[in-house]
Structure 1
Amino acid sequence: MKFGKEFRIRIEEILPAWRDNYLCYKTLKKILKRFPFTDDVEHRFLLRLHQELGKINDFYVDEEEELVIKFQDLNARIERVREIIRSGTRRTELHDVIIRILIDFFNIQAELVVLKNYCFLNYLGLTKILKKHDKRTGGGGSLRIPFIHLVRQQPYFTAEPLTQLLQDCEANLAFLL
């Protein structure tokens, strides 16, 4: 199966509501297919590539911010449970509260994984379209190498807060269980 089709299928399977926030692989591929490949086409391709990178980053940062806020709320709820337990109340008496928090932690953990998958799929799409570009132009990595270097410095690629949230989520789940 061709990558473009596989890319579309994955997007639809994961979270169709995010469809417009993924890399527009098909559009970039259409620009590359223009013949002859002139400086004007190259400029349009680079402009669209940078726009797509900006769109991916903006969406990622917004989603990450929402998850951080949700996580902070959950942490505050867990801290209240810890205080109640320290005051001598048994966990069994807090059963319903702990179950609700557990459910919320499992939900946020799932959202974190979906966002990580979003990052991975977009990175994969960018590497594929850059490879096509360099093959089409005979550049042998002339755009791919510096652009991938730029991508690897972007918030959506590093996803450090996301990784930390996943680790914190696991630690909190261990406490609750």
Structure 2
Amino acid sequence: MKFGKNLRNEITEKLPEWEGEFISYKYLKKQLNLIAPPWHDEETKRPRKRPRMATDNCLVMEERNTNHTGEETGFIQLLRDDFEKINLFCDDKEAEYVNRLKELRDEVAVLEGSGGNATQVIRDLLDFHREMVLLLRYGVLNLEGLLKIVKKHKKKTGSFVLSPFMLRVLQQPFFSTDLLHKLLRECEATLRQLLLPI
């Protein structure tokens, strides 16, 4: 099954409320298809033989490809917009999760002081844990989409122009999962505290 279909199925089944926050993979593919390969012969309207490139020609290719067509500029801008959207969504969710964990821990402290029933707080912690795991999956799906579309761009244009873009992606919150893993561990510790009292 193709990535685009997998992405749509995953969103529909598991994350319908986040649908607008995912990479616009289908639209990016359409934009990419509008870009004519640089080895396309305008006179005969047929593709010329694609030039071979050595891996050490990366920088030369990047310099040569600074003059993009309008279609390629549009594609790159759409890719950047999607990247910013994904990153902003992850930042917002992580900030929300930090506050939510604090609220849940406060509820646990009140509950322990009163000796009340912990069932609802346990459910809330489990739901919270599930949502954080889904955010991890969200990051993986979007990274996979970005990698695939950049690979398609490179294959179509022979350009390494998006390599610096991907280096930037690898340093962003939706790729770096340290905070989420820390929150997951703290949530699990709070659950253990409730389920296995000393």
TM-score calculated relative to the size of structure 2 = 0.77
Unpaired segments of 5 or more residues in structure 1? none
Determine the structure 2 residue equivalent to 1:34: 34
* Greater radius of gyration (CA): 2
Aligned length in residues: 165
Go from structure 1 to structure 2 and tell me whether the alpha carbon gap of 1:109 and 1:80 turns closer, same or farther (over 3 Å shift).
same
Work out the CA distance in 1 between the residues paired with 2:9 and 2:140. 15
Determine the structure 1 residue equivalent to 2:46: none
Determine the structure 2 residue equivalent to 1:67: 97
State whether residues 35 and 72 of structure 2, in contact with CA within 8 Å, keep that contact through their aligned partners in structure 1. Answer: no
Identical-residue share of aligned pairs (%): 38
Determine the structure 1 residue equivalent to 2:59: none
Question: What are the Cα deviations for residues 6-33 of structure 1, in whole angstroms up to 9, with x where unaligned?
Answer: 2111111111121111000011101110
In the alignment, does 2:195 pair up with 1:165?
no
Work out the CA distance in 1 between the residues paired with 2:125 and 2:141. 24
1:143 Cα deviation from its structure 2 partner:
3.6
Question: What are the Cα deviations for residues 15-70 of structure 1, in whole angstroms up to 9, with x where unaligned?
Answer: 11211110000111011101524622221111111100011111112222222221
**Higher share in helix:** 1
What code does the residue aligned with 2:69 have?
D
1:159 Cα deviation from its structure 2 partner:
2.9
State whether residues 127 and 144 of structure 1, in contact with CA within 8 Å, keep that contact through their aligned partners in structure 2. Answer: no
In the alignment, does 2:146 pair up with 1:116?
no
1:148 to 166, 182, 185: 166
User: RMSD over aligned Cα, in angstroms?
Assistant: 1.7
Partner SS state of residue 110, structure 2: helix
Runs in 1 of length 4+ with deviation above 3 angstroms?
Answer: none
Partner SS state of residue 23, structure 2: coil
TM-score calculated relative to the size of structure 1 = 0.86
Work out the CA distance in 2 between the residues paired with 1:167 and 1:143. 39
